[in-house]
Amino acid sequence: MKSFASLLALASLAASTPLSFYENNQFPIGGSQQIEAEELLSSYPGVSLDLNERRLVQLEGQAPAWVSELDKINMKAAGLRFFDVTDFPGSNYQEVPTLRTKTSYHTPNATDLVKPVLNKLSTDGPKENLEKFTSFRTRYYRSDTGRESQLWLLSKISEITKDYAPKSLQDVISISEFKHSWGQNSIIARINGTSSTDDSVVILSAHQDSTNMWPFLPAPGADDDGSGSVTILESYRALIASNFRPVRPVEFHWYSAEEGGLLGSQAVAAAYADRSANVYAMSQFDMTAWVKAGTREEVGIITDYTDNSLTEFNKKLVDLYLDIPYVETKCGYACSDHASWGKAGYPSTFTIESSFENSNKHIHSTQDRIDISEEFSFDHMLEFSKLGVAFAIELGGWSKKD
């Protein structure tokens, strides 16, 4: 296994391309000399980024080590995945912990409840919402527009709740910001459960932030992860429009700062662990729109660093409720926000737009746009909204008392 120092050297090796290459190129892979980066950064006063700031990062199989923010950028450019554990220095991120509770999941059987809600799903809302979400120059978590995009998303969730949820359901829905020091907050929409004895929560999530390989450059983030963000928002809309009253509480999370090392989801998962919250199941939706030309349309089911039992359940949901098949695939250590929940000892699963090797190669660039190619598909996204609905109903249950 490579040492941390050798991995960091590999990251620095990827930093030999002039910054001018990144402004409009669709395949940015690295950085340049620090002085050039600092000069360009000074042109973007709306981004609060100190390239010399020290951060504690965790790579797979390595002890946490201190690096600069510039090192983090270069590491990401080199394809290294990591947790930024600066705010969690005492955490043991060396080994995957034992689950807090060993959970088994039933065979999906609520078709009479799920299928009517699937009929309420549409591509109209996701198209409109993603057009707006990608209009912000960047959703980078340390930028002014990153905060503005989060506030827009918060207002859109509130608007959808007011427009689609019956008044009796609105009374048991809460929408809140989980505050972070960097300004762009995570968002949690919770539908309270009807059970007085089971408070185990079901979570559907996506990350709202975007980044260019150089974070101060434009980053529309249509697929990564604008697609996942509006996908679960459409699931939420269809559920509340159907007066969904779960037995277990069901929450929808939109995390900040995934691109910075899973910062937002780590903070949320740590807060839940600190209060010994009972998380029944967590499902991450990160990149749901891309169908590579010449490939079969499918759902990528991530099989590494996920909970085996919940992942098998997710496969059954795809078989029962979706019009396309699944494919098993892997994405590696700390590749999305499900990893934060797994590290906290909670069962988590992750679905992506395809096998990992066939996923969108335009991410982290100016070319991660809706209009870049016919390979970007809102119909494909709709299949993932179906999965979100099925996940919420099958695991959250549905009380028909009201």
89-120 burial, b if ≥16 CB within 10 A, otherwise e?
eebebeeeeebeeebebeebebeebbeebbee
- What are the residue numbers of the active site? 207, 224, 258-259, 286, 364
Domains delineated in the chain: 4-84 (no CATH), 111-396 (3.40.630.10)
Query: Which are the contacts of 321, defined by CB distance < 8 A and separation ≥ 6?
Result: 108, 111, 114, 115, 118, 386, 387, 389, 390
179 versus 99: the higher-pLDDT residue is 179
Q: Which pLDDT score, from 0 to 100, does residue 3 have?
A: 56
The 10s digit of each residue's pLDDT in 266-278 is 999 999 999 999 9
For the chain, what's the residue count?
402
In this prediction, residues 95-115 reach a mean pLDDT of 82
Residue type, 170: Q
pLDDT computed for residue 10 by the predictor: 44
Local confidence band at 401 (pLDDT 50, 70, 90 cut-offs): low
Strand ranges across the sheet with 65-68: 65-68, 54-59, 82-84
Segment among 32-41, 82-91, 107-116, 291-300 with least mean pLDDT? 32-41
pLDDT band at 77 (very low <50, low <70, confident <90, very high): confident
Apex 275 CA angle, 272 and 277, nearest 5 = 55
Distance, CA of 179 to CA of 8 (rounded, Å):
31
Nearest 10 degrees: Cα torsion 158, 394, 113, 291: 70
In whole numbers, what is the pLDDT of the chain averaged over residues?
Answer: 89
Long-range contacts of 105-111 (CB under 8 A, 24+ apart): 105/281, 105/309, 105/310, 105/312, 105/313, 105/395, 106/394, 107/316, 108/313, 108/316, 108/317, 108/320, 108/321, 108/390, 108/394, 109/394, 110/393, 110/394, 110/398, 111/320, 111/321
Q: What is the dihedral of CA 31, 36, 38, 42, to 10 degrees?
A: -120
Rg (CA), the chain: 20
Cα(286)–Cα(401) distance, integer angstroms: 35
What pLDDT, on the 0 to 100 scale, is given for residue 2? 55
Instruction: State the Cα–Cα distance between residues 331 and 135, nearest whole angstrom.
Output: 28
- Average pLDDT of the residues in 188-206: 97
Contact 353, 380 (CB under 8 A): yes
By mean pLDDT, which of 65-79, 145-159, 263-277, 334-348 is the weakest? 65-79
Q: 206 near 285, Cβ under 8 Å?
A: yes
User: Omega before 225 cis (within 30°)?
Assistant: yes
The pLDDT of residue 71: 86
Q: What does the block give as tokens for 242? A: 């159907």
Structure tokens at 229: 């963000």
d(CA 308, CA 301): 11
With contact defined as beta carbons under 8 Å apart, do 187 and 157 qualify? yes
Task: Determine which of 7-16, 20-29, 48-57 has the lowest per-residue pLDDT on average.
Answer: 20-29
Residue 27 has pLDDT above 80, yes or no: no
The residue among 365, 378, 158, 385 whose CA lies nearest residue 285 is 385
